[in-house]
Structure 1
């Protein structure tokens, strides 16, 4: 399904959350599709099941997945859950990173070019929906 970087400073559960969000947003896993069980994914990735459970809990809190007791975890069909809230949160996070980049000496033009390159390669925004 995906690989994790055990040498990364980022906690494994956060890496899992990011990878799962990416799969959901890129529609690799579709709405209402069942995710691998905690035990199966822990075995596949050779990590502690509690780490998987923590990642699934975080994804559920963020509205990306939902759980059915005894059945498992599924991709949320309505990823517009808390949409405005998420956009506001992402903008605040982005603002912090841009301020930090400018402080570290990265030119505004470089940041703009990076955004334009990412937009062209990923496609996004309202014009590409």
Structure 2
């Protein structure tokens, strides 16, 4: 039986994303980078809500979204667990989301005035950091 794994995430009050979105994004990132392994049990809704000092309904909605998307699986009477890896989105949806994310990124970065090479180097570095965490 898997032990509940502490979910070490933080909520930023100055973040423009709603708290539920921050929870969803943080769990997705932890699963994608391997920080949360398949089969790991997550804290209960009440437990995570207390840890983050947020409304339990917010956590419940975030968990529901992650379950619907296939990141988590619910086991009757046992709790929520990280689902086994699989492609969670269609190729077309993955492409659409990538285009959307790149568009947001470019719109946020271009006004900062950095040379393209500096932006590309920083992005490559960050991607490498995530990749090395995933394979470690």
Normalised by the length of structure 1, the TM-score is 0.78
Which residue in 2 is equivalent to 1:42? 49
Secondary structure of the equivalent of 1:123? helix
Secondary structure of the equivalent of 1:67? strand
Which residue in 1 is equivalent to 2:39? 32
Unaligned runs of 5+ in 2: 1-7
Contact 1:63 1:82 in 2 (8 A): no
Structure with the bigger RCO (C-alpha within 8 Å, sep 6+) is 2
- Structure 1 position 51 matched with structure 2 position 58: yes
Return the alpha-carbon distance in structure 2 between the equivalents of residues 82 and 41 of structure 1.
27
Return the alpha-carbon distance in structure 2 between the equivalents of residues 46 and 102 of structure 1.
32
Q: When the two structures are aligned, how many residues end up with a matched partner? A: 126
Q: Give the ranges of 4+ consecutive aligned residues of structure 1 lying more than 2 Å apart after TM superposition.
A: 6-9, 68-71, 78-87, 101-111, 119-124
Which residue in 2 is equivalent to 1:4? 11
RMSD: 2.6
Unaligned runs of 5+ in 1: none
